[in-house]
């Protein structure tokens, strides 16, 4: 199975900060990567697919990048609503896996 590793596990930031989360795959996955945001007590929200394409309705301060084994999620100017946990997920094959999550606090 492909392992997904996110860093950091926890990120402390302030409103207005530029924030970057990294996701690494144990083998190449081209650009078959998605990002999700989850707030406490809520279901995950789909943010980005194919590494960098924003899902409809997602604010443009979110951006994704990378290919192969290294990917990033960047929030250009952190807003109060963005404090949450973020997960990457590969969908390179049937056995999709998630990263362990990055909590932005």
Instruction: Take residue 99 and report the two structure tokens written for it.
Output: 């990263």
Q: Is 97 in the site for other proteins (CB under 8 A)?
A: yes
CA distance 23 to 73: 8
In 3D space, the residue among 83, 82, 65 whose CA is nearest the CA of residue 74 turns out to be 65
| Ramachandran angles phi, psi of 80, nearest 5° | -55, -35
Position among 23, 36, 62, 64 found at the interface with other proteins (CB under 8 A): 36
Q: Which is nearer to other proteins, 81 or 94 (CB)?
A: 94
Residue 30 CB, nearest distance to other proteins (Å)?
A: 12
Binding interface with other proteins (CB under 8 A): 1, 32, 34, 36, 38, 43-46, 49, 55, 87, 89, 91-101
């Amino acid at each position: 199975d492909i392992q997904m590793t996110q860093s950091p596990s926890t990120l402390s930031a302030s409103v207005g900060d530029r924030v970057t989360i990294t996701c690494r795959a144990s083998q190449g996955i081209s650009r078959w990567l998605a990002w999700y945001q989850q707030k406490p007590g809520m279901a995950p929200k789909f943010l980005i697919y194919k590494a960098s394409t924003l899902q409809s309705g997602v604010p443009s301060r979110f951006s994704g990048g990378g290919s192969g084994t290294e990917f990033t999620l960047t929030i250009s100017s952190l807003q109060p609503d963005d404090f949450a946990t973020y997960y990457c997920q590969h969908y390179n094959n049937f056995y999709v896996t998630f990263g362990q999550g990055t909590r932005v606090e």
